[in-house]
Amino acid sequence: MVIIEMLQQSIAASPLFFNLLEKTLLATLPALGFGMMFNVPPQTLKYCAMGAASGYGARFLLLHWGLDIEWASLFAAMMIGAMGVFWSQQTLSHPKVFTVAAVIPMIPGVYGFKAMIALVEINRSGYTPELWAGTLDNLIHACFIIAALAVGLAMPGLLIYRHKPVV
């Protein structure tokens, strides 16, 4: 919730273009960091960064134009998936090798943690409708966004590469 609110506030506060530029550049950093943690081949690190920048930027614009975050995530991940197919045919690596690192900036980690922390709190201090509502809200939100991201990444395989491998 915090992230969305902050996002909305910053959209209202500053001109769109510079905001977009800042977000896309910032989104490359987690992709590079996680890419290194996943030990992606060095020659594909640039694809992690480019995928993350364009995907995050696309989602930012779609959110700005009023789309729901689930649909925005789906379309952004579809874009990354499509670019991943193109790059994978050049590098002869499966697209998942670098597209997962590219969607990392869009994964709703804070929702997931909030849901689990609310669960721990229910165990500690007992059930209240607010805590349970917090758990469910955050959990469902996280699930839908993750599903959207994963389905989006898989989309080229589901639509076009149904019977032949990508590489």
Partner 1 sequence: MEMKEVIVFEKNEQREITRLVAEAGYLLLHNGVESKVVSDIAHRIGRVLGIENVEIALTASAVIITTRLQGQCLTTIRQCTSHVINMRIVSEVQQICIAAERGELDIAGVHQRLAGIDPPRYNNWLVVVMIGIACAAFCRLAGGTAEICGLTFLASSIGMIVRQTLVRNTFNALITFGVTAFITSLISGLGLMFQMGDNAFLAMASSVLMLVPGFPLINSVSDMLKGYVTMGISRWTTATLLTLVTSMGIVGAMQILGVWGVWL
Residues at the site binding partner 1, with contacts judged by CB under 8 A: 2-3, 6-7, 9-10, 23, 26-27, 29-30, 32-34, 36-41, 44, 91-94, 96-98, 100, 103-105, 107, 109-110, 112-114, 116-121, 124, 131, 134, 146-147, 149-151, 153-154, 157-158, 165, 167
- For tokens 């689930």, what's the residue? 70
Placement of tokens 């379309």 in the chain: 75
- CB nearer to partner 1: pick between 43 and 68: 43
Smaller CB distance to partner 1: residue 9 or 140?
9
What is the biggest distance separating any 2 CA atoms in the chain, rounded to whole angstroms? 56
Question: Which structure tokens are listed for 103?
Answer: 């969607």
At a CB cut-off of 8 Å and minimum separation 6, what does 104 contact? 30, 31, 34, 52
The nearest distance, CB 155 to partner 1, in angstroms, is: 10
